[in-house]
Structures are given as structure tokens and as C-alpha cells.
Chain A
Amino acid sequence: MRQLSPLAYVPRRGTLQTASLGSVGLFLGAYLVICFLSSDPMVLLAATAGAAIAGYGCQADRAVRFSLRLGAFLAVSMIVINAIVTSRGATVLARLGEWPILGRVDITAEAIAAGAIIGFRAMGTMVVIGVYSACVDPDRILRAVHGVARRSALTATLISRLVPLAAADQARLSEAAELRGPGATPVGRAAMAHRLLSGSLDRSVDVAATLELRGYAQSSGRTRFNREPSRFDTRFRVVGAVLMFAAITSLVTGAGEFVQYPEIEYSPDLSSIGLAAMFLLAGFTTWRRGGRQNAR
């Protein structure tokens, strides 16, 4: 059986899964904003941990682990690349001589720190997007956009349905090709792509005919999709608003400024410690009373 992508949405009765799109957007959006705005390593790591805790609280374990792995890989790559391409900074740790294109390469502590900040940002962003992707039903987003951009919503809906279908087609065709036995000529990628494309075109014509029969071509009034408000909406709105306010305030006041060049200067003050604690603890907002086991 084909395994779902770790980032794919799985319907569960978690808090983020049941809350309204707006409240989830505000809550996770605050994490995204702090990841983009802050250059304080403590705040970035706390926000990453907070987003991971939020994901665990909604049983998005696989998404969190996958995002953390990918984020860590990105972070390490950023550190290595930045250390090699940027020789700025006062603290030279190693001299790697003259390189083609790059010229003189000096590994500096400052370039490593600057790379780490970019890496932490990428890791935090990956975790937030991973949690969002695993906990928010894409169909709900499409329904939400339906009112404002009907054609785009229809296109997105079709893509979200037809792309997995094409992937399933490819798996079926590959399986069928393998079942022809070891003596059969191997099926090349071009032949497979040709078969998939023609199959997709056939299916597109069928879908178009169905849509026409159902009257999608005619303009119609907006369809309303009503859903029961979640009891977690207020919680996410309040926490999201507080986090967003704190994130923007920290940008304006310059709290937790981490200077990388020409020398590393970092003196976390109370406001940056508070901000980090706030983003870390806010991750538990997704947890229900009694722990995550009760959330099933």
C-alpha cells in the first residue's frame, strides 16, 4: 500500500484540525512571522520547539519529525555554504586558501553564526508549514476561497484531486509493466510519461464533460459552506493575537538583537527571554486537558 506523504492532511479530532481556518491562520501565522522577523537564536529555537509541540499536540508527529529532519538538513547546509562563501567577520577559525571563483576563503565564527540564523529560520518555517499542512484540511481552504475566487478554487480542487490520481495511475502502470515477466522489454520513462499524459488528457475531457453537465459553466450565486464553530477558536485567536503582537513589538523595539558582523554580539535581555518562553509555551495551546492521548 502506498504510504501517505508525512505532510499530507489526515483527518483527526485534534484541536487545530477542528478549529476555524482564521484562528489557526492567526496562531500558526504568528510563529511564521517570528521566524521571519527575529534574528535572535534563542527566540527562533523556542519558536521552532513551540511549533513542534503544537504539532505533537494535534498528533501531527510524522509531519513534525519530517519537518525537523528536513529543517535540520537545511540548517546544516546553510551553515556550511555560508561559512564557505562568506569570509566576512573578525574571528577567523580556519584559512582554506584561494579557491576558484570564491577567491580567498576564510572560515569565520561570524559567517557560521549568520548561516545558523538563516538555518534556524528555515527550520522554524519548515515545522510551522509542516504542522499547518498536516492539520488543516485543504478542502476547507478551497471552500474558504471559493467565495472570492471561484475559478481558482475549482482549478485548485481539480489539481488536488487529479495529481494524486495521476500518481496512482503511474504506480498501477509500473506494477503492470513489472508483471509482464523478466523477459519483457523494460518500459522507458518516455513511454510511461506518454501513457500517463494521454490518460490524463482522457480523464480531463471526462471531468470537463461532467462539470458542464452539472452546470459549472453557468454563473451561480455563492455556495455557503456552514460549519459548526469549534470551542478552540477563541483560544487560538487570543493566543495567536498575543503572539503576533509580541512578535511585531519585538521587531519595533529591536529586542534580542543578534549582531553577527563584524563581531558576534549577543546579550539576551529579559524581553527576548520572555518572548522565547511565550512562543515555547504557546505550543501547548493545541494540547487538550489531560495530555495529547485524550485528544483522539
Chain B
Amino acid sequence: MRIEGPALCMGPDIDTDVIIAGRYLRTKDRSEWARHAFEDLDPALASRLQGKVIIAGKNFGCGSSREQAAIALKEAGVVGVVAPSFARIFYRNAINIGLPVIECDCTCRDNETVRADPAEGTVIIGERFYRTRPLSPRMLDILSAGGLVEYWRGRR
């Protein structure tokens, strides 16, 4: 499994209220969440997420358990999130909806090419190489299936 795309750098402690605000949760329209991703941080950001790998600071996805946060990023075209640590509910949600997440503390410059492999536990940003802990076999299976729903259907 490979993740590849230009880097989008973000700071630490990005909470799920910032990823998708509570006022946009009352719908099942996923494109609505994608359109308003990170709106309170920068309203123009959502339109620049397509194909990006988010390289964030520690504790990404803290706060509310809202799965719409992970869905918003995936729907907006984010191909993966790399951070030194994640809030645990966001981490599980991301895997469960098929958005790759990698725990890695790395230096980020916007638009540098990121190549990462959660199965091997490697992250390359520009010329910098980082080794990190690979995801568990079960998480990799869920990701490969496209998410927990597809994984579950495939096992029946």
C-alpha cells in the first residue's frame, strides 16, 4: 500500500471541531462535509485538499468522536495523514473509513512530495527518510478493503 502526494503542513492539536464544525453535521451529504473541511481555520483550505498528504503536529483529531471529520478529509481528496500522534478515536475512525494514517514525527514543507507506506512503516518527504511502526495486519486489511464496512462484507 502506497500513499503519495504533495505535503500540506499543519500544526499540533487539530481538533475535530476544526476539521468539520458541529453546525455542518446534520446531514448525510458527504460532499457538504468535504466542502466545509477546516473552514474555521481557513475557508479556502477545503478546495486545496485534493490529492494532498496532511503532515500534522501531535494529537491530530482530538476532541469529539465525530466520524464526519475523517470522512470530510477523505471526501475532500486527502490521501493520508501523517502525525507524531493521533487522538485514538480519530485514528480508529480513519482506518475504518479507509483513510490511511501513519504515526511519524517529521519535518514538513508545503508541497514537497510525500511517499509513505503504512505496511512497511516508511515515510519519505522530499529527500528525508523516516522509519516508523507499521500498522497492524488487521488495520492494513481494513484499509486495503477500503474500510471496515467493505472488510466486514468481504469476510461474510
Q: Do A and B bind each other?
A: no
